[in-house]
Chain A
Amino acid sequence: MNIAFNVSDLLGILPVLIVIAFAALCALAEVFAKPGQSRGFVGTLGLIGALIAFAANAWQWHGLDGAYSVPLFGGGLVMDAFSTYFNFLFLAGTALTLVLSTKYLKEHGSDLGEFHALVLFAAAGMMLMAQSRDLIILFIALELMSVSIYVLVAFVRKSRRGAEAALKYFLIGAFASAILLYGIALLYGATNSVELTTIRRALDADPSLANGLLVRLGMVLVLVGIGFKVALAPFHLWTPDVYDGAPSPVTGFMASCVKAAGFAVLIRVFTVTFGYDAMEFGAGGNGWVGVLYLLAIVTMFAGNLAALPQSNVKRILAYSSIAHAGYLLVGVVAGSFGNLTIDTEAAATLGPNGAILFYLMVYAFSTFLVFSALSLFGKDGEEHTHLSDLAGMGFRRPFVGLALAVGMLSLAGMPPLGGFFGKFYLFREAMLSGRPEVTILVLVAIVNSMIGLYYYLRVLVFLYMKEPTREVPVYSSRGATTVGLISLALVFLLGLFPGGLLTMAQRGIGSLRPVVTTPTASLTATEPQTPPAASRQAGSRAPRLELKAPPAQLKLATPINLKATTTH
């Protein structure tokens, strides 16, 4: 019996383990809390967990040598710069959500420790989604995230809209999960494997299989399942109700992190596994790329046009998040046309997929900036986020107004904020792919950005140019201020000095870039050259952990050599 387990594999998922451990601790802490006692300490506990996991993730990032991936648990999971980059995003988002929600929960009379546990569980699910290279693990991780989010949406007991939103989200989400699972089953039936690398090999080896209906149907169903999570039109209909009904910190968490996790999966499953060159079929000869092309156009228009008549800021943001998913899809489409799989020289460039990574990070911080201010509006299960509730707030609460205004401008893509550079790099890299159809797509995206300006600026109009009509309860919170300040600083910094993050994104996407061998060669490469094993070598200064684990299926440009210098 072959137990695919090494203790060193656990190091590869160290941040996830820390997050899960602290999630369990938070759930336990709730049990031992006295009735009536403030649950702020549970939030602090969760925050500590997220920060430790962040540090562990930084250690991994530091230790990963270049753009190589380390398979874990027999290849079902992987640790590479790509997943580590996403883990940074998820952990930062988790920490910000936890800080933001402590006061919010008290104000809305739902001060329970389980909130923090569920946020951490959701984070663990997202991190595993980014790390998984196995459709089964991917599915369970996605469910872990989804189940936690369903509950978080309904967390404020006094909010009827929250309960309604959670019910809608749960019913449609469960349906989407079933569709995803059906797609996975079909893919398994066609390729006899749930591992992405094996699926890729099977598709490379047998082009007729790749063009068979089984694979096509499976891919479409998987796309629908993930498309639901990232709110692509036409699977977006739940978004406005759920974003509106959910507690504001949770909405921020969903908009930034859930979406990012969905795109991590989208890139890994579609761009890498169902690579363009393996799939020459379908509409216009592009197969699923053609489908995504249409989805991108529909999503951008659906989001932007539907946002125009909205009068509730959270609904505006929901539609805006749909629109952003559309922009990101432009990158996926452009990235699928080859940059990722053609040659190693491309590793030096960002590529549309790298731009997606950068965009997601910027988008996350812009979202948190907006929600750090927006979460302050309301009390006792009722959120006052109508546009008229914001009237005059720019002068009465200058910092709240500033956070909202800057956040909105960043989401709209105004220079010199981060949002502008996110869009700039995304569209530039997409144009660089040099295909006329992508150029059209980018033009559509730019037109849509113009449309989007209207509803983002409308919020500013209400903030600074309208007189308040009624008294709205707005509390103030140190947590929200902290989140606001951090996000504000990052949105400006990423706009003024995007270089650092760009390098990181480039490195992250670089680790995905395998050289796909010809079918015959890939079949000969199936036997592992060296078994995945970890060996400790006594170094001269400190113990060095050397993981030699070539993924047998992928021939990498240079030998894999993960050098992780242990810090202790």
Chain B
Amino acid sequence: MEAFFFYLFASLAVATALAVVFPPMRGARAPIHSAIALVACFFCVAATYAMLQAHLLAVLQVLVYAGAIMVLFIFVIMLLNLQTDETARTEVGFVKVLSGLLVLATTAGVIGFLRNDDVLLPISKQLVAQVAHPETYGSIEEIGKLMLSEYLFAFELTSILLLASIVGAVVIAKRDPRSTFMPEALKQQLYRERHGKSASGRKGGA
């Protein structure tokens, strides 16, 4: 039963992942198909997490990736209103074929390696040993405790990373104070009309 669902979701995950890279439709609508395929892929991955007793991880995968990040992706794609030529595919060259072959070779190597019982068995034994206490394993309490004990520093450091990312995002998105964008220029013009001087220092008014 479990094996059936595992293979079902695993193969679906691979199929949808391929659909991300090779969307079924070409042209301007390809990006949104890719994004939707990616959402589906996240679901399949979440399902495999759930089967590994990692319920919290599964829920967070859906909540964060499928529910928040991909929504923004689709939002941006909708706003961009891509034209066909912008999404036109480039021709397949020698390097691409070579890298594709390399990927296939690596995959084959990994599969061949995993088929080897000597290698796989010790690992799966280890995993079974860890799932021996399914009551708490992967629960929100256990993960919370781990985050505040063993991984405390990494957990706190993540907040610094987020802070830096927010500052960075604000910088990238912020309107240049001296640009000639209309609202800003308008504001300064209005300011000058009222006060007879420039609003923003020496170089104000663009």
Chain A residues, Cβ within 8 Å of B204? 36
Given contacts A121-B167, A214-B119, contact A76 B199 (CB under 8 A): no
Contact B167 A35, beta carbon cutoff 8 Å = no
Q: A2-B149, A137-B154, A217-B110 are in contact. Are A20 and B160 (CB under 8 A)?
A: yes
Q: Identify which of residues 102-120 in chain B touch chain A, using a CB-to-CB cut-off of 8 Å.
A: 109-110, 113, 119
Contact B153 A118 (CB under 8 A): no
Q: Does A136 contact B (CB under 8 A)?
A: yes
One of B119, B161, B203 near A144 (C-beta < 8 A): B161
CB distance from A137 to the nearest CB of B (A): 5
Contact for B170 among A114, A128, A155, A158, CB less than 8 A: A114
Interface residue B151 (Cβ < 8 Å from any Cβ of A): yes
Q: Which of B109, B152, B168, B202 contacts A148 (CB 8 A)?
A: B168
Number of interface residues of B (CB under 8 A): 37
B150 touches A4 (CB 8 A): yes
Binary CB contact string for chain A from 101 to 123 against chain B (1 if under 8 A, 0 otherwise): 00000000110101101100110
- Mask: chain A, 1-35; 1 = CB below 8 Å from B; 0 = not: 11111000000000000001001100100000001
Is A363 an interface residue when CB atoms closer than 8 A count as contact?
no
Residues on B with beta carbons closer than 8 Å to the beta carbon of A122? 164
Give the docked Cα–Cα distance between A356 and B172 (Å).
36
Task: Tell me what chain B mostly uses at the interface: helix, strand, loop, or mixed.
Answer: helix
| A112-B161 in contact given A35-B200, A76-B153, A157-B179 (Cβ < 8 Å) | no
Residue of B163, B200, B202 contacting most chain A CB atoms (<10 Å): B163
- In the assembled complex, B90 has its CB within 8 A of some CB on chain A: no
Residues of A contacting B: mostly: helix
Interface members, chain A 134-153 (any B CB < 8 Å): 134, 136-137, 140-141, 143-144, 147-148, 150-151
Contact at B171–A24, with CB atoms within 8 Å?
Answer: no
- A150 (CB) vs chain B CBs: closest residue: B168
Chain A residues in 8 Å Cβ range of B63: none
A479 to chain B, nearest CB (A): 19
Residues of chain B lying within 8 A (CB to CB) of residue A3: 148-149, 152
Are A151 and B172 closer than 8 Å at their CB atoms? yes
Q: How far is the CA of A154 from the CA of B168 in the complex (A)?
A: 10
- Cβ proximity bits B86-129 to A, threshold 8 Å, 1 near / 0 not: 00000000000000000000000110010000010001001000
A212 at the interface (CB under 8 A from B): yes
B8 at the interface (CB under 8 A from A): no
A4-B152, A5-B152 as given contacts; A144 in contact with B160, CB under 8 Å: yes
Is A281 among interface residues, defined by CB-CB distance under 8 A? no
Contact partners of B174 in chain A: CB under 8 A:
112
Tell me the residues in window 347-396 of chain A with beta carbons closer than 8 Å to chain B beta carbons.
none
Q: CB of A124 within 8 A of chain B?
A: yes
Is B165 part of the contact surface with A, judged by Cβ < 8 Å? yes
With A124-B160, A136-B154, A144-B160 known as contacts, the answer to whether A4 contacts B168 (CB < 8 A) is: no
At the interface, yes or no: B27 with Cβ under 8 Å from chain A?
no
What's the Cα separation between A112 and B172 when bound, in Å? 11
Contacts of B126 in A (CB 8 A): 192
Choose among A4, A140, A150, A192 the residue that contacts B161 (Cβ–Cβ < 8 A).
Answer: A140
Asked if B201 is an interface residue, CB under 8 A from chain A, the answer is: yes
Given the interface pairs A35-B199, A118-B171, the reply to whether A148 lies near B164 with Cβ below 8 Å is yes
Please give the distance in Å from A304's CB to the nearest CB on chain B.
Answer: 23
| Residue A37 is within 8 A (CB to CB) of chain B in the complex | yes
- What number of A residues sit within 8 Å (CB to CB) of B? 51
Given contacts A121-B164, A136-B151, contact A189 B171 (CB under 8 A): no
A125 to B174, CA, bound (A): 24
Are B171's CB and A76's CB within 8 A?
no
B158, closest chain A residue (CB): A140
A77 CB within 8 Å of chain B: yes
Residue from the list B109, B145, B176 in contact with A157, Cβ < 8 A:
B176
Give the distance in Å from the alpha carbon of A212 to the alpha carbon of B109 in the complex.
Answer: 13
In this assembly, does A213 line the interface, its C-beta being within 8 Å of a C-beta of chain B? yes
Using CB atoms, name the residue of chain B closest to A186. B110
Q: Does B26 contact A (CB under 8 A)?
A: no
Q: Within the complex, which residue of B151, B167, B178 is in contact with A118, where a contact is CB–CB below 8 Å?
A: B167
Give every chain B residue within 8 A of A157 (Cβ-Cβ): 176, 179
Residue in B152, B163, B168 whose Cβ sees the most chain A Cβ within 10 Å? B168
Residue in A closest to B169 when the chains form the complex, CB atoms: A151
Chain A, 401-424, contact with B by CB distance < 8 Å: what is the 0/1 string?
000000000000000000000000
Cα A208 to Cα B179 in complex, Å, equals: 62
- Asked if A73 CB lies within 8 Å of chain B CBs, one says yes
For residue A3, give the distance in angstroms from its CB to the closest CB of chain B.
5
Q: Which chain A residue has the least Cβ–Cβ distance from B174?
A: A112
The answer to whether B172 touches A154, judged by C-beta atoms less than 8 angstroms apart, is yes
Say if the beta carbon of B67 comes within 8 Å of chain A.
no
- Judge if B157 is at the interface, Cβ distance under 8 Å: yes
User: Closest CB of chain B to A281's CB: distance in Å?
Assistant: 14
Is the CB of B177 closer than 8 A to any CB of chain A? yes
Q: Using Cβ atoms and an 8 Å threshold, which residues of chain A touch B201?
A: 35-37
List chain A residues, Cβ under 8 A from B158: 140
Alpha-carbon distance A112/B177, docked complex (angstroms): 9
- Smallest distance from the beta carbon of A475 to chain B beta carbons, Å? 15
Q: How far is the CA of A122 from the CA of B149 in the complex (A)?
A: 26
Chain B residues near A150 (CB-CB < 8 A): 168
Q: How far is the CB of A156 from chain B (nearest CB, A)?
A: 10
Contacts of A155 in B (CB 8 A): 171
B156-206 with Cβ < 8 A to chain A: 157-158, 160-161, 163-165, 167-168, 170-172, 174, 176-179, 199-204
Q: How far is the CA of A134 from the CA of B200 in the complex (A)?
A: 48
Please, which residue of chain A has its CB at the minimum distance from the CB of B171?
Answer: A114
Across-interface contacts of A114 in B (CB, < 8 A): 167-168, 170-171
Give the contacting residue for A77; candidates B119, B153, B167, B177; CB below 8 A: B153
Q: How far is the CA of A36 from the CA of B191 in the complex (A)?
A: 14
| Interface residue A74 (Cβ < 8 Å from any Cβ of B) | yes
Give bound CA distance, A136 to B152, whole Å.
Answer: 11
Tell me, in angstroms, the Cα distance from A136 to B153 when the chains sit together: 10
Kindly list 15 other residue pairs between chains A and B, CB separation below 8 angstroms, not including A148-B168, A157-B176.
Answer: A3-B148, A5-B152, A24-B163, A36-B203, A36-B204, A110-B176, A114-B171, A117-B167, A122-B164, A136-B151, A144-B157, A144-B160, A155-B171, A213-B119, A214-B123
Interface set of A (CB-CB < 8 Å, partner B): 1-5, 20, 23-24, 27, 35-37, 72-74, 76-77, 109-110, 112, 114-115, 117-118, 121-122, 124-125, 128, 134, 136-137, 140-141, 143-144, 147-148, 150-151, 154-155, 157-158, 189-190, 192, 212-214, 217
Q: Would you mind naming 18 contact pairs between A and B with Cβ atoms under 8 Å apart? A: A1-B148, A2-B149, A3-B149, A3-B152, A27-B167, A36-B201, A73-B152, A76-B153, A114-B167, A118-B164, A144-B161, A148-B164, A151-B167, A151-B168, A189-B123, A212-B119, A213-B109, A217-B110
Residues of B at the A interface (CB closer than 8 Å) are: 109-110, 113, 119, 123, 126, 145, 148-154, 157-158, 160-161, 163-165, 167-168, 170-172, 174, 176-179, 199-204
